[in-house]
């Protein structure tokens, strides 16, 4: 049982380049999320998808776009990468009931130079 799978695990981009971070879950969860983790700032929500076909902005959406391709997959796109987007990105999914929490992927470490 893979849970939440993120690809790639590591990436280095030049300023202005674009890329898509992929996320897939095999738990039949309705809700999916993208977070970024920066030192001293915890996990900040970028975008989320409460169900297939819907997406909404989180706390720090600027510079990102998302696509909920189907129930399993939720991708995060950086159209023109900036050094401020250097971070560790985590994808998560949930059944929707807060008491059960989220299941996270292992993360993508992105460096923009």
> In the complex, which residues of this chain contact other proteins (CB under 8 A)?
4, 33, 35, 40-45, 48, 50, 56, 58, 90, 92, 96, 98-107
User: How many Cα neighbours within 13 Å face the side chain of 92?
Assistant: 22
Output b/e per residue, 64-89; b: 16+ Cβ within 10 A: bebebeebbbbbbebeebeeebbbeb
Least gap, CB of 108 to other proteins (angstroms): 10
Smaller CB separation from other proteins, 19 or 50: 50
Smaller CB separation from other proteins, 15 or 106: 106
Smaller CB separation from other proteins, 14 or 99: 99
Least gap, CB of 56 to other proteins (angstroms): 8
DSSP, collapsed to helix, strand or coil, labels residue 27 as: coil
Least gap, CB of 80 to other proteins (angstroms): 27
Whole-angstrom distance, CA of residue 41 vs CA of residue 86: 13
């Amino acid at each position: 049982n893979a849970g939440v799978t993120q690809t790639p695990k590591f990436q280095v981009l030049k300023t202005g380049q674009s890329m898509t971070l992929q996320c897939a879950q095999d738990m039949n969860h309705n809700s999916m999320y993208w977070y970024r983790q920066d030192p001293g700032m915890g996990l900040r929500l970028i975008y989320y998808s409460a169900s297939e076909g819907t997406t909404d902005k989180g706390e720090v959406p600027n510079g990102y776009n998302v696509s909920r391709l189907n129930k399993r997959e939720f991708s995060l796109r950086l159209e023109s990468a900036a050094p401020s987007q250097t971070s560790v990105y985590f994808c998560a999914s949930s059944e929707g009931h807060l008491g059960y929490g989220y299941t996270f992927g292992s993360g993508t470490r992105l460096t923009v130079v």
